[in-house]
Amino acid sequence: MKLWASLLIVGIAAAAPAWGQAAAGDEAAIKLPAPRLDGAVSLEKAIQGRRSVRGYSGEALTLAEAAQLLWAAYGITDPRPDGPAFIRGGLRAAPSAGGLYPLEVYLVAGKVTGLAAGIYRYVSEKHELARIETGDRRDALCLAALGQAWIREAPASLVFGAVFARTTKKYGERGRERYVWMDAGFAGENVYLQARALGLGCCIAGAFLDDKVKQAVNMAGDEVPVCILGVGRRR
């Protein structure tokens, strides 16, 4: 059995109900550095070198690195200011069934230079962060992910939530069973490859307790947590 699969079993028993009630959000906006459109590592080398990395040095990420990862996940790459409302600003780095973009991307910042530890929501159309809550929530996220320690050690994690209704209102059950998950896979792989291209390590976690992840990142009621992507400098 995979380590993280056995953690699922152990973690359900061990997870302590230590999560505080999240404070009501103050959604202060934080402008992010513009994404770089070139880099030292070719796409082919990033694919070849991509691995799930669970050992991090403890060093901080820079705000520019965090911004680049968020952009790779769900940044607007083709603005459509006059496009239909459902596109919400333009076409993005990852494909999406019907251009409906069901995902919300959160940054759980622990050690990010120039950014207070806290929970942030990525606002793709402005390439901004909306601050939801300050304070280091990595412990809560780690416990929500059944005690997978690398999530606490990663200086930051991206958490994807899905608003299924955006996709199911057009595609019905096919949207629920297939398209939203496919959308998340594309965006998640972008994060892996971007991390590799930046010389960072990244790992996805799908083993977690949904309610606890929602509490840890203060996710809206209609969102379903899809995955956690821890990122940091390799040890």
Q: Which two tokens stand for residue 211?
A: 């309610």
- Where do runs of H (alpha helix) occur along 15-62? 43-49
Piece in contact with ligand FMN (CB under 6 A), picked from 47-55, 59-67, 75-83, 216-224: 47-55
What is the footprint of ligand FMN within residues 138-157 (CB under 6 A)? 148
Of positions 83, 206, 224, 234, contacts ligand FMN by CB under 6 A: 206
Piece in contact with ligand FMN (CB under 6 A), picked from 109-117, 118-126, 157-165, 204-212: 204-212
The CB-of-171 to ligand FMN minimum distance in angstroms stands at: 21
Is residue 203 close enough to count as binding ligand FMN by CB under 6 A?
Answer: yes
Is residue 4 close enough to count as binding ligand FMN by CB under 6 A?
Answer: yes
CB 183 within 8 A of CB 32: no
Sequence-distant (≥ 6) Cβ neighbours of residue 183 within 8 angstroms:
94, 95, 96, 97, 101, 102, 103, 162, 167
Neighbours of 71 (CB within 10 A): 24
Is residue 204 close enough to count as binding ligand FMN by CB under 6 A?
Answer: yes
Is residue 231 close enough to count as binding ligand FMN by CB under 6 A?
Answer: no
The CB-of-205 to ligand FMN minimum distance in angstroms stands at: 4
74 or 87: whose CB is closer to ligand FMN?
74
Residue of 16, 22, 1 whose CA lies nearest to 209: 16
> Could you give the CA distance from residue 50 to residue 39 in angstroms, rounded to a whole number?
16
Three-state secondary structure call for residue 127: coil
| Positions in the binding site for ligand FMN (CB under 6 A) | 2, 4, 51-52, 54, 148, 203-207
